Amino acid sequence: MHLIMILNALAVAWWLRSSWNQHQGSWSLRWQRSLFLFLFPPLLIFMTAIAVLFMGPQGEMGGMYTGSVSYVVALIYMAFFAILCIKLAFQGWQSVESARKCPMVNLGDKQARLLQTGALFAGQIGFWQPELVISQGLLQTLSPDHLESVLAHEQGHHYYRDTFWFFWLGWVRSCTAWLPNTEPLWEELLALRELRADGYAALQVDPLVLAESLLLVVSSGPVLSEICCAALGSSGADRLEQRVEALLAPPEPTPEPQLQSWHGFLLAFLPLLSVIFHS
């Protein structure tokens, strides 16, 4: 019976991920749909594995006896999740430690770590309290107005705690790389993250200046790993046109998360109810 639960969870997860297709719409609708399809399938599998582990390898459920095979499968999957989390956390810690070795510089009322490279880079590196890291090349290339727009964008990442939340989303990405549309959904979430930070910055600086800065930074290519890092050019050149168009268009409000938008995730906890039918 437990094995049937696992297979059902896998089937639903596969079906939901397969149903995703990129479409245009408001930032809010795209974000809610992409986040749901990215998170719900692994959450359903995760809750099913927890339910199976909680019920144990022996017993009876729905008139059917349970065996140890499903218990071992759930145990292996949970161990796989834990190992990947530890691995990513260690890599993130290495990125943070590497950034902390860079000297501090004053940028007006802000402080940043100075990366000794001619590449154009600015990003937040860390977990809940990330640090701003900026390259020598960026300081030497950008004008004061362009630099201000870049700093405003990075302040947006700090405001939304993007490094923290996308560390966990990156963990989910690693754990469910075998599910369909994992990479397209990940890229969509990265693009929406950058659009949100762009929108935050556009309320403080000239959007046209920010678009010009974006063109310069994205053309230089990535400098650091995406783990625990939220940088101006992290969504890649393939999303550049979309971001520039959004900056030049009338600003779209970014709504705060609403409680009702999370109601759908409660369905992922249904496997836990099966525990009461186990004996």
Per-residue b or e along 193-216, where b marks 16 or more CB atoms closer than 10 Å to that residue's CB: bbbbbbbbbbeebebebbbbbbeb
Cα–Cα distances in angstroms (integers) from residue 113 to residues 110, 133, 134, in the given order: 10, 5, 6
Strand-pairing partners, residue 231, are 123
Give, in degrees to the nearest 5, the angle at Cα 167 between 255 and 188: 55
Contact 207, 195 (CB under 8 A): no
Give the pairing of strands 60-61 and 131-135.
unpaired
How far is 257 from 262, CA to CA, in rounded Å?
9
Contact 32, 256 (CB under 8 A): no
* pLDDT score of 64: 52
Amino acid at site 88: L
DSSP states of 205-231 as a string?
S-HHHHHHHHHHHHHT---S-STTEEE
* pLDDT score of 3: 72
* pLDDT score of 86: 94
* pLDDT score of 158: 92
Per-residue b or e along 70-94, where b marks 16 or more CB atoms closer than 10 Å to that residue's CB: bbeebeebeeebeebbeebeeebee
C-alpha torsion angle, residues 128, 190, 218, 92 (rounded to 10): 40
* pLDDT score of 71: 77
How far is 252 from 110, CA to CA, in rounded Å?
27
* pLDDT score of 243: 80
* pLDDT score of 61: 53
Give the pairing of strands 131-135 and 110-115.
parallel
Contact 194, 157 (CB under 8 A): no
* pLDDT score of 168: 93
Cα–Cα distances in angstroms (integers) from residue 183 to residues 79, 163, 190, 195, in the given order: 23, 18, 10, 18
* pLDDT score of 65: 53
**In the chain, which stretches have pLDDT less than 50?**
259
Under DSSP, the state recorded for 142 is S
* pLDDT score of 62: 53
* pLDDT score of 1: 59
pLDDT tens sequence across 149-192: 999 999 999 999 999 999 999 999 998 999 999 999 998 998 88
How far is 208 from 211, CA to CA, in rounded Å?
5
* pLDDT score of 261: 60
